[in-house]
């Protein structure tokens, strides 16, 4: 039996494997792991954040955490000296000129430590700085102002 050119023979040998779906799945898994690693890293430092009645979610591109025991973390990684925040902030700013920094400080952290980090971020050129807070519970009968 002669077969016409271009006909696929289901019984023949497969000469190649289509790896496109495999690559697609691997890239999706990589993105999911990168996002979850970022979330896990930011939650790894236990803190008692100050309370605020009103807050808004901010996209964190450069996170600085100040722990009550004196440790400083940048994007979940411990830094030995707070002054290391300056070159790290400059590097983040060079990658993205619109970088937004978020400072999460435990309620027991002295004000001076927080202001030192703010000063270092300003020296690096970061102009968008936010503070991480925990929402307070609304009191019964309170009217929200807009």
Q: How far apart, in whole angstroms, are the C-alpha atoms of residue 64 and residue 104?
A: 6
Which H, E and C letters describe 41-73, residue by residue?
Answer: HHHCCCCCCCEECCCCCCCCCEEEEECCCCCEE
- Per-residue confidence (pLDDT) for residue 53, from 0 to 100: 55
- Per-residue confidence (pLDDT) for residue 146, from 0 to 100: 43
Q: Which domains does the chain have, with CATH numbers?
A: 23-135 (3.30.420.270)
- Per-residue confidence (pLDDT) for residue 130, from 0 to 100: 85
- Per-residue confidence (pLDDT) for residue 29, from 0 to 100: 95
- Per-residue confidence (pLDDT) for residue 1, from 0 to 100: 46
Residue 69 zone, left/alpha/beta (φ > 0; ψ -120 to 50; rest): alpha
Residue ranges of the chain with pLDDT lower than 50? Answer: 1, 3-4, 142-146
pTM: 0.55
- Per-residue confidence (pLDDT) for residue 128, from 0 to 100: 86
Contact 65, 47 (CB under 8 A): yes
Provide the 8-state DSSP code for 141.
T
């Amino acid at each position: 039996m002669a077969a016409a050119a271009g006909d696929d023979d289901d019984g023949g040998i497969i000469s190649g494997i289509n790896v496109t779906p495999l690559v697609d799945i691997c890239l999706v898994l990589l993105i999911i792991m990168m996002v979850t690693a970022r979330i896990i890293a930011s939650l790894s430092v236990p803190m008692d954040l100050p309370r605020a009645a009103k807050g808004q979610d901010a996209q964190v591109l450069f996170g600085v955490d100040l722990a009550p025991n004196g440790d400083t973390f940048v994007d979940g990684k411990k830094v030995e000296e707070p002054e290391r925040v300056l070159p790290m902030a400059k590097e983040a700013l060079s990658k993205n000129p619109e970088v937004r920094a978020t400072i999460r400080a435990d309620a027991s952290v002295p004000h001076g430590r927080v202001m030192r980090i703010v000063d270092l971020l300003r020296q690096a050129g970061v102009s968008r700085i936010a503070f991480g807070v925990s929402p307070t519970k609304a009191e019964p009968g309170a009217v929200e102002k807009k």
